[in-house]
Amino acid sequence: MPIQRLNHAVLYVRDADRSASFYEEALGFRRIKRAEGFRGAVFMQAPGSTNDHDIGLFSVGEGVSDSSAGRGSVGLYHLAWEVDTLEELERLARALSERGALVGASDHGTTKSLYAKDPDGIEFEVAWVVPADLLDEAAFEAARSIRPLDLEGEKQRYGATTTGGVGISTPAPAGGR
C-alpha cells in the first residue's frame, strides 16, 4: 500500500509551551493531553483533525543554536498545512502578520501559499490548493514561476469560500463537485 499522507511532525524547539502557545494562537491548533514519559513535550491537534496528534513539540532548552539546515547543513526546509478556503488563508495571513511571523506570500499557480516562522524560526507554509475542476492552462502556466500572492484577486477568481484541494489532495465526491 502506498503512503497516503503525513500523519504528524515532531519539532525540537527551545520551549515547547511557548511554541504551543504560538501554534494555538496563530493557527488554531489545540493541545492534547501530555503522555506519560514525555517530559517537556506538547502534542497538538490541528483544527478539523481527528488525528491523535498532528505536531509534537519537544523542548531542548534556550541555549541551543538555530538550525543551519539549508545554509550550512542538510535538513527539512518546511512543513506545509492545507486550508479549505481562500477566506481561511486570508484570516491566517492576518493572524500571522499580527504576530510578526509572516515572511512571505506566493502564488504558485496551482497553490496559493503563505510562509511564516514560529518563535524558534522554524519555517512553515499554509496553502490553499486550486480544486482539480478549476485548474486551467493559466494556472499551469503560472505554476512555472513564483509570483507575489494577490489574495483579493484569487478570491475574485475562485471565490472566497470555494473548497480547495478537491480532486487533488482530497477525493472528489462521487458524481462530481
- The structural domains of the chain, ordered by start, are 7-60 (3.30.1900.10), 77-169 (3.30.720.110)
Q: How many Cβ atoms sit within 10 Å of the Cβ of residue 97?
A: 14
Q: Whole-model pTM?
A: 0.90
pLDDT value for 3: 78
- pLDDT band at residue 176 using 50, 70 and 90 as cut-offs: low
List the grid coordinates of 59: 523542548
The mean pLDDT of the chain is: 91
pLDDT value for 1: 65
> Average pLDDT, stretch 1-16?
88
> Average pLDDT, stretch 163-169?
90
**Cβ pair 87, 96 in contact under 8 A:** no
Q: How far apart are CA 19 and CA 120, in angstroms?
A: 8
- pLDDT band at residue 175 using 50, 70 and 90 as cut-offs: low
- Tens digits of residue pLDDT in 17-75: 999 999 999 999 999 976 667 778 999 999 989 999 999 999 999 999 988 888 999 99
**Cβ pair 119, 18 in contact under 8 A:** yes
pLDDT value for 177: 57
* Strand ranges, E, within 14-101: 30-32, 41-45, 55-59, 79-82
- Tens digits of residue pLDDT in 112-140: 999 999 999 999 999 999 999 999 888 88
Q: How far apart are CA 107 and CA 64, in angstroms?
A: 34
Which amino acid is present at 146? I
- What interhelical angle do 86-98 and 151-158 show, nearest 10? 160
